[in-house]
Amino acid sequence: MTDISREELDGIYAFAVQLGKDAGRMLQEAANLRMGAAHASREQKEHVQKENAVDLVTETDEDVEAFIKTAITQKFPSHKFVGEESYSKGASRDYLIDDSPTWCVDPLDGTVNYIHLFPMFCVSIAFLWKGRPLVGVINAPFLEQFFSACEGRGAWLNEERRLPLVREPVPPMPAKAPSGCIFSCEWGKDRRDSPDSNLHRKVESFVNMASEVGGRQGGGGMVHGIRSLGSATLDLAYVAMGSFDIWWEGGCWEWDVAAGIAILLEAGGLATTANPPYPNEETAPIEEVRLGSRAYLAIRPAGGSPTETGRQSQERTVREVWKRVRNLDYTRPGA
Feature table: binding site for Mg(2+): 84, 106, 108-109, 256
**Of 102-131, which residues contact ligand IPD (CB under 6 A)?**
106, 109-111
User: Which lies closer to ligand IPD via its Cβ, residue 190 or residue 245?
Assistant: 190
- Candidates 135, 75, 74, 78; CA nearest to 105 is 135
Stretch that binds ligand IPD, among 26-34, 166-174, 249-257, 311-319 (CB under 6 A): 249-257
Residues 6+ away with beta carbon under 8 Å from 43: none
Cα–Cα dist 121/134, whole Å: 22
Residue 156 bridge partners (DSSP) = 148, 162
**Of 254-293, which residues contact ligand IPD (CB under 6 A)?**
256
The secondary structure of the chain in percent helix, strand, coil, rounded to multiples of 5, reads 35, 20, 45
* Long-range pairs of 210-219 with CB within 8 A, sequence gap ≥ 24: 210/183, 213/176, 213/179, 216/324, 219/323, 219/324
- Candidates 300, 207, 292, 211; CA nearest to 250 is 292
Is there binding between residue 252 and ligand IPD (CB under 6 A)?
Answer: yes
User: Which lies closer to ligand IPD via its Cβ, residue 151 or residue 256?
Assistant: 256
CB of 224 to ligand IPD, least distance (A): 21
**Of 73-92, which residues contact ligand IPD (CB under 6 A)?**
84
Is there binding between residue 245 and ligand IPD (CB under 6 A)?
Answer: no
Site string for ligand IPD, 24-43 (x = CB under 6 A): --------------------
CB of 50 to ligand IPD, least distance (A): 8
Stretch that binds ligand IPD, among 91-99, 146-154, 227-235, 315-323 (CB under 6 A): 227-235
CB of 266 to ligand IPD, least distance (A): 20
- Select from 230, 242, 301, 303 the one that contacts ligand IPD (CB under 6 A): 230
Stretch that binds ligand IPD, among 22-30, 71-79, 167-175, 228-236 (CB under 6 A): 228-236
Cα–Cα dist 127/150, whole Å: 9
User: Which lies closer to ligand IPD via its Cβ, residue 12 or residue 104?
Assistant: 104
User: Which lies closer to ligand IPD via its Cβ, residue 116 or residue 161?
Assistant: 116
* Long-range pairs of 117-122 with CB within 8 A, sequence gap ≥ 24: 117/31, 117/34, 117/35, 117/142, 118/230, 119/143, 120/229, 120/230, 120/231, 120/234, 121/27, 121/31, 121/231, 122/24, 122/27, 122/231, 122/233, 122/234
Stretch that binds ligand IPD, among 19-27, 36-44, 224-232, 295-303 (CB under 6 A): 224-232
The CA-CA-CA angle for residues 139, 13, 186, to 5°, reads 40
Is there binding between residue 136 and ligand IPD (CB under 6 A)?
Answer: no
> Where does the chain show beta strands of DSSP type E?
47-49, 56-58, 80-83, 102-109, 122-129, 132-140, 145-150, 155-157, 161-162, 182-185, 225-227, 246-250, 270-272, 295-299
CB of 311 to ligand IPD, least distance (A): 27
Question: Could you give the count of Cα atoms lying within 13 Å of 136 in the half-sphere of its Cβ?
Answer: 32
Is there binding between residue 186 and ligand IPD (CB under 6 A)?
Answer: yes
**SS3 category, 310:** helix
CB of 106 to ligand IPD, least distance (A): 5
- Select from 64, 138, 232, 261 the one that contacts ligand IPD (CB under 6 A): 232
CB of 97 to ligand IPD, least distance (A): 17
- Select from 20, 251, 268, 310 the one that contacts ligand IPD (CB under 6 A): 251
**Site residues (CB under 6 A) for ligand IPD?**
84, 106, 109-111, 186, 188-189, 230-232, 251-252, 256
